[in-house]
Amino acid sequence: MQVTEDQTDAQSLSALGAEAVVLLVSRDFDTLADRFGYALAHGREVAEAIEFDFAACLSESEGSADRTGRPVTVKYFQTNDAGLLAAVECIAYVAEGAAILLELVVTGTGAERHVTLEGISPVF
């Protein structure tokens, strides 16, 4: 999803992370795919790739996730040639008792900025 430069502050990125968590927990894979894309789709249909990887996380999860951590963390990168600006790490607690890590990345060149779902993985 394209964002403006003023939407890359920690508060705005945290809100986008929270939105991604709500979409994942509600299993709204189509909207999640439409809003954020998925860097690890690897040629698969994006919503189906997210759903498949989410199901794989559930099968790997040990359940009874520790809920004491921060649900959304924003980290900024130092200046780099790759155009990586920030990472947003989000923990989604799902009904099955699992915790799923969603990682969003913020990239950009010049004034153009994009937020993309980078990965989904279980939290152990």
- Number of domains the chain contains: 1
Residue 1's pLDDT is what? 94
Q: What is the model's pLDDT at position 45?
A: 98
To the nearest 10°, the Cα dihedral for 101, 103, 104, 105? 170
Core vs surface per residue 14-28: b (16+ CB within 10 A) or e: bebbebbbebbeeee
**Strand, coil or helix: what is 46?**
helix
CATH number of the domain bearing residue 74: 3.10.450
Residue 16's SS3 state is helix
Per-10-residue mean pLDDT, the chain, length 124: 92 97 96 97 97 93 64 89 92 86 93 94 88
Q: Which residues span the domain enclosing 48?
A: 2-122
The whole-angstrom separation of Cα 113 and Cα 101 is 22
